[in-house]
Chain A
Amino acid sequence: MSASAKSLPAKIFDLLSSYGLAIVVLSFLLIITYFGTLSQKDIGLLDSQAKYFESWFLIHDWNLWGMIVPIPLPGGALLMVLLFINMLCGAVIRIRKGLRTIGVLISHIAIMFMLAAGFVSFIYKTEGAMPLFEGQTSDQYQSYHERIIEIRSWSADGKGGSTAMVIPMKHFADLEPGRARTFFAKDLPFELQVTGYRRNANIVQASEEEKSAIDGYRIQPVANAKEDEANTSAVEVSVKFKDGSEQRGILWEREFEPFTVKAGDLSYTLALSRMKWKLPFAIRLNDFQRELHPGTMKAKKYTSHVTKITDGREEPKVVTMNVPVRDQGFVVYQASFSQGTSGEQSVFTVASNPSDQWPLWSCVAVAIGLVIHFMMHLVRFLSRTLKPKVA
């Protein structure tokens, strides 16, 4: 069948399964990896990842001898989806299937599996910090980046509910001053209007004449830090009760206590904090030890002697650099430590990622596929070479 006689879906399939597309996609991946890596020094790791590798499209500002040239580029998300489709169409669906291509097929499916691992990780992975003083116990870890507005209810005798309502960051991070959004829930006796989100801010005293003053304070925006962990967000909230009354407050990540409103016999606390995830077990830090390189303050080794508590059952464990504790899909790594007036604090990184081991498996599968492929080529080459030539 001639190319012009092909149907539109068939033409699209040809395009998506072509070597040409593979070369273009891989070239762009190389370019955005280069630009994305360099941009980390200017905009930090998190923003660089979001701009170059988690986007569909992006504009890269190329500094050409002091002149900024905007270059539109496809984002990492688009390129990886296209690469996945390209390999699916070209190297899995269209490829001639047989013993001779088994190695190539295995390798390509393994690479697709690695891309799928990245997608699953992007959607489902949670990672955060669990700082513990010696003797302290915790069963939750706190996100490095994801801010939330959290609402908890408290009875008159001071008992708090077992769960907190959570407004995720993606629902309020776009609410710069002048933009507002209202949140409601069937169990809440009020609606919450959120506005004036600042990614990095201080809270300063305000004079009573200032319109933006709330309880004698206002939000003072600060330039964003390169490393997002150093940013302290702030946001304005307005609690609108059903009787028409309203109570305004400022929520700040570094505040010592939450903002409180009363509704009937219940009190509600509102806080801007980082998302916390609960573990199915608790970790108690018994002892923290650190070794320094001689004559320096540079750490040679951190070691935390901990007790893992699962349903009351205690189990001693040792967490040290590159030797994490794994249980029920969660991995607890030794990350760092801090020294304060309250003593030494060991900081763990806790991660949960359903596709944690998938890249390892896919690398093994790629290697197996390539070994099969090259061995078959070798065998064919040797059989041709060693075959007696007919005169």
Chain B
Amino acid sequence: MSIFWRLQNSPKGYPASYVFSNPHMIAFFLRHPARQALPCLLLLFALTSCDRVSSRMEITRTREISQYETKPKVGAYAQERFGDERLIWQTPEGWSQAERSQMRPVNLTFGPSREGECYLSLLPGGGGGVLANVNRWRKQMGQPEITEEELAKMPKKTLMGIEGTFVSIEGAYTSVGATESKPDHKMLGIVAAMGEAGLFVKMVGPKALVEANSQAFDQFVTTLRLRMPQGQ
């Protein structure tokens, strides 16, 4: 039987082990070294070195995951993935970074049980304007709405280079989606309009805790800024 026939009909693409583990093959090489051994060797090298790449390929390789491997964040958004935070800020001492989202690109917590929260949000449509947002916040704190005149008299603070309305509200806080309110809470915030977009920083938590962190709030707001785009 020809050595070529054997190679062509061996399973799984002619592995070298098939040839070298078969006693008939070894005997063949020993009997006819000069006549056929060399073409066979050349063929063997050619066959074992082939790895065909086509336009559609099945994924066949896997690797085992180590128990020591750091778990990646599932669902990270583009800025997080590329380390390209367009926002820069300093997290005040004692505060922690909480999980961020598209709605809360900066999300911080503070307090012994991290019960205080402070976050930045950007709304492309502005959320109805400054007054509507201030009144929405007041409603969350169980307070009555204010008028345009009252809004105009409210103190101002600069948020990322834009003058915004500073809000300080005390009351019973009902967070979005909650059915029960939390008494004796306080909210500090800045509502700024950037063209049609709305820019908000909101800090809320138990009254004593928020008051103890009001300087940290100012520090956070002062350091918050946009990173300049990368060079192209």
Q: Which residues of A contact B (CB under 8 A)?
A: 7, 9-10, 12-13, 16, 81, 85, 88-89, 93-94, 137-140, 150-152, 154, 158, 160-168, 170-171, 174, 180-186, 188, 202-205, 215-217, 220, 252, 254-260, 267, 269, 271, 275-278, 282
Distance (whole angstroms) from the CB of A261 to the closest CB of chain B: 10
- Provide the residues of chain B in CB contact with A186, threshold 8 Å: 58
The distance in angstroms between the C-alpha atoms of A238 and B78, with both chains bound, is: 15
- Other 15 A-B pairs with CB < 8 A, given A140-B69, A164-B65, A252-B82: A7-B35, A13-B34, A16-B38, A138-B66, A162-B64, A165-B59, A183-B56, A184-B59, A217-B82, A256-B81, A257-B73, A259-B81, A267-B74, A269-B74, A278-B66
* B53 contacts the other chain (CB 8 A): yes
Interface contact A163-B57, CB-CB below 8 Å: no
Q: Which residues of B contact A (CB under 8 A)?
A: 33-39, 41-42, 45, 51, 53-69, 71-78, 80-84, 229-232
Known contacts: A140-B66, A277-B63. The answer to whether A255 contacts B81 by CB under 8 A is: yes
The distance in angstroms between the C-alpha atoms of A165 and B60, with both chains bound, is: 7
22 contacts between A and B (CB under 8 A): A10-B34, A13-B38, A89-B34, A89-B38, A93-B33, A137-B68, A163-B62, A163-B64, A163-B65, A167-B59, A171-B57, A183-B57, A184-B59, A216-B78, A217-B78, A255-B81, A256-B76, A256-B83, A257-B72, A257-B73, A260-B74, A260-B76
Interface contact A139-B57, CB-CB below 8 Å: no
The distance in angstroms between the C-alpha atoms of A215 and B230, with both chains bound, is: 16
Which of B38, B65, B71, B83 touches A12 (beta carbons < 8 Å)? B38
Interface contact B37-A257, CB-CB below 8 Å: no
Interface contact A182-B57, CB-CB below 8 Å: yes
Interface contact A205-B84, CB-CB below 8 Å: yes
- Provide the residues of chain A in CB contact with B51, threshold 8 Å: 170
Interface contact B63-A154, CB-CB below 8 Å: no
The distance in angstroms between the C-alpha atoms of A201 and B68, with both chains bound, is: 29
- Provide the residues of chain A in CB contact with B37, threshold 8 Å: 88, 93
Interface contact B81-A258, CB-CB below 8 Å: yes
Distance (whole angstroms) from the CB of A210 to the closest CB of chain B: 10
Smallest CB-CB A-B distances: 6 pairs: A257-B76, A215-B78, A185-B59, A166-B61, A13-B34, A163-B62
Interface residues of B, dominant DSSP: loop
A180: nearest chain-B partner, CB-CB? B55
The distance in angstroms between the C-alpha atoms of A158 and B232, with both chains bound, is: 37
Distance (whole angstroms) from the CB of A192 to the closest CB of chain B: 8
B232: nearest chain-A partner, CB-CB? A204
Interface contact B56-A182, CB-CB below 8 Å: yes
Interface contact A138-B68, CB-CB below 8 Å: yes
Interface contact A271-B55, CB-CB below 8 Å: no
A137: nearest chain-B partner, CB-CB? B68
Interface contact A9-B36, CB-CB below 8 Å: yes
Distance (whole angstroms) from the CB of A215 to the closest CB of chain B: 4
- Provide the residues of chain A in CB contact with B65, threshold 8 Å: 152, 160-164
Interface contact A9-B39, CB-CB below 8 Å: yes
Interface contact B64-A257, CB-CB below 8 Å: no
- Provide the residues of chain B in CB contact with A183, threshold 8 Å: 56-59
Interface contact B72-A271, CB-CB below 8 Å: yes
Interface contact B55-A166, CB-CB below 8 Å: no
Interface contact B63-A276, CB-CB below 8 Å: yes
Distance (whole angstroms) from the CB of A10 to the closest CB of chain B: 6
The distance in angstroms between the C-alpha atoms of A357 and B67, with both chains bound, is: 31
Distance (whole angstroms) from the CB of B87 to the closest CB of chain A: 13
Interface contact A181-B56, CB-CB below 8 Å: yes
The distance in angstroms between the C-alpha atoms of A152 and B72, with both chains bound, is: 10
B86: nearest chain-A partner, CB-CB? A205
The distance in angstroms between the C-alpha atoms of A282 and B75, with both chains bound, is: 30
The distance in angstroms between the C-alpha atoms of A258 and B77, with both chains bound, is: 9
A89: nearest chain-B partner, CB-CB? B38
- Provide the residues of chain B in CB contact with A158, threshold 8 Å: 71, 74
Interface contact A188-B59, CB-CB below 8 Å: yes
Interface contact B84-A203, CB-CB below 8 Å: yes
The distance in angstroms between the C-alpha atoms of A167 and B53, with both chains bound, is: 12
Interface contact B71-A160, CB-CB below 8 Å: yes
Interface contact A256-B59, CB-CB below 8 Å: no
- Provide the residues of chain B in CB contact with A171, threshold 8 Å: 53, 57
- Provide the residues of chain B in CB contact with A215, threshold 8 Å: 77-78
The distance in angstroms between the C-alpha atoms of A154 and B72, with both chains bound, is: 11
- Provide the residues of chain A in CB contact with B42, threshold 8 Å: 85
Interface contact B63-A166, CB-CB below 8 Å: yes
